[in-house]
Structures are given as C-alpha cells and as structure tokens.
Amino acid sequence: MRYVLDTNVFVLAFGSAPPVKTEDLLALVVERAEDCELITGREILTEVRRNLTPEALRRCWELLRALAVVPVEDWQIPFDLGEKYREPGLKAGDAAIAALTEWAEADYLVTENRDFMDRSLLPFRVVRIAEFLTVLRQKA
C-alpha cells in the first residue's frame, strides 16, 4: 500500500501538540513502514519547510531519511496530469499534489484540506488523518 501525506498533515504531525493528536500517526507510519510506503514530493517538502521551524524541519527530514523515502521531483510528473486535475476545479497547487498521488500510484492521499474532499473521480482515496489511522491499524 502506498500513500501521500499532504503538507498540512506533515505540519500537524511534526509541529503540533495536544489537543491535536497526531503522535499516533507518526508512530504508525514508522511501524508499518515495511509494507506501507510513504510517498512525498519536492512540492510538499517546500511547503513544509515554510511552515516549520528549522529544528522541526530537520527532524522531519531525518525521519524521511530513516524511512528511506526519496522525494519525487516536480519535473518527473507529466504536466498533462496536473492539468487534468485543474479541470474538476482544483487549484494549481492542489492539482499538482493530486497528480503526484496518481503518478506515484498511491492508494491514499491523507489531508485535512477540504478542497480535496467529495471528488469521486480521483483514482485514489482521499482520507483525513483519523480515517487513515484506522487504515494503518488494520494493516497490523
């Protein structure tokens, strides 16, 4: 199983504190890393970089390195794929993330961004953190 964590999920997971409960998410990402592949892209990391302090960003990068994650570069994703997602009404940045998710053949896009919700034509599932925690726990 493959999944993409949207920027807001990274920022919540690495920077927030209770009552935002994301500790479980990172723990499950690590424990399921062998059979559940985290996919990320340069686009997402650039956005994460602008929203975390350098210290939090360093920890985020260290974790990605430990999980052997190789970020997908923007230029690798076909331009047409991004354009395809503009047509159903996604903004350019969101369309790029949808294109990354499809191109990487991910099963899930995990996000708290409501602009992605209720889009039935996507070839992957859009889930919020709480729902994705259930998915990861079922993989145990």
The contact set with another protein (CB under 8 A) reads: 2, 6-8, 11-12, 14-17, 20, 23, 26-27, 30-31, 33-34, 37, 39, 43, 46-47, 50-53, 55-56, 59, 62-63, 66-70, 72, 76, 91-94, 103-105, 112-115
Cα angle vertex 104, ends 50, 23, to 5°? 50
Our CB check for another protein shows the closer of 26 and 122 to be 26
d(CA 140, CA 138): 5
CB of 85 to another protein, least distance (A): 13
CB of 62 to another protein, least distance (A): 5
Our CB check for another protein shows the closer of 19 and 121 to be 19
Sign of CA dihedral 10, 72, 96, 31: negative
Our CB check for another protein shows the closer of 88 and 91 to be 91
CB of 115 to another protein, least distance (A): 8
Our CB check for another protein shows the closer of 34 and 118 to be 34
Angle, nearest 10°, between helix axes 23-31 and 7-15? 110
Q: Are 134 and 110 in contact (CB under 8 A)?
A: no
Comparing CA positions, the residue from 128, 93, 122, 85 lying closest to residue 106 is 122
CB of 126 to another protein, least distance (A): 14
Our CB check for another protein shows the closer of 16 and 123 to be 16
d(CA 107, CA 12): 21
